[in-house]
Amino acid sequence: MTDIRLTPADLPALGLFVDAVDLGSLSAAARRHRITQPSASQAIGRLERRLGVTLLRRGPRGSRPSPEGERLAGHAREVLAALNRFAAAAEAVRSGTRGLIRVAASYTNAEYVLPVRVAHFGSVRPDVAVRLTVANTDEVVAAVRAGEVELGFVEGPGTFAGLRTRRIGHDELAVVVAPDHPWAGRDTVPGNVVAATPLLLRERESGTRRTYEVAAARAGYRVAEPYGVMTSTEALKAAVRAGLGATVVSRLAVQDELRDGRLVAVRVTGLDLGRDLRAVWLPGQRSPLAAEFIRRLVDQP
């Protein structure tokens, strides 16, 4: 039996493998790496042949790790995390700072929660750079699990298997409409009416959409297929202002529009639209700088 020898050229395939495990689909992993699904299948196939092990089992519902793949996935994450720690250290040296924290955040966190807090952190730790990547919740969690970032910031319901979490704040979703929408003149709108109405929503991987759908399910309501799907909160707000319908967004995202009357928040009964904002990280992969960053974020009002 020949020894298994991997080279740096195998690293992209390792990344595909880990993402396929985390996202539950080789197609989703391919999209994340901006390659075609056939190219991803070929890369995984080459890696499997080099290892002499079947890593993924493909099926109509996606890709799942084989028992051998399940055992090797953790080791693959350690390899990728070490590579990213080296890259972070090199970037810190190049930029002249004494430290670098790589962070990924969902759109709500990145646009409405973190900017002020990151600026405050920079004022007390000017020797540390914070590199922020913005993505939807599922992509943030995948980046954390792959070791591409030390910290992720997400919102919404659910648990994140294998990750540590810490609450950094609370948010509430709001159903918002244009001032001339029929709901704008009503004192309340029942949750079952909202759920049965085709709304403008974010993509399925969004924490905002997941919070809304879980809240409706818990109340016993079936959510209608959306009238339109957009990957940007700003695009949703513009569509609502143009009269295309109602949407569900973070109340943090519409404070200005509610204040000046461009949008109206509908009081909804029968739906709990609150959610926690959380930091997530891999056990053992959080540096002292990252721990300090979270601590200052939590302590800051």
CA distance 253 to 294: 22
Region 94-103 average pLDDT: 73
Cβ-count burial 255-279 (b if 16+ within 10 Å, e if not)? eebeeeeebbbbebebbebebbbbb
Range name among 40-54, 81-95, 269-283 with the lowest pLDDT average: 81-95
pTM for the complete prediction?
A: 0.67
Q: What pLDDT is attached to residue 93?
A: 67
Instruction: Cite the residue boundaries of each domain of the chain with CATH code 3.40.190.10.
Output: 79-168+278-299
Instruction: Cite the residue boundaries of each domain of the chain with CATH code 1.10.10.10.
Output: 8-72
Which CATH code of 3.30.1020.10, 3.40.605.10, 3.40.190.290, 3.40.50.2300 fits the domain covering 170-275? 3.40.190.290
| Closest to 192 (Cα-Cα) out of 219, 173, 211, 214 | 219
CATH of domain 8-72: 1.10.10.10
Q: What is the pLDDT of residues 184-240, one digit of tens each?
A: 999 999 999 999 999 999 998 888 999 999 999 999 999 999 999 998 899 999 999
- Both tokens assigned to 62: 């996606």
C-alpha pair distances (Å), 78 with each of 63, 125, 128, 154, 297: 21, 28, 24, 22, 27
Range name among 76-90, 191-205, 266-280 with the lowest pLDDT average: 76-90
Pairwise pLDDT comparison (117 vs 94), residue with the higher score: 117
Which CATH code of 3.40.50.720, 3.40.190.10, 3.30.390.10, 3.30.870.10 fits the domain covering 79-168+278-299? 3.40.190.10
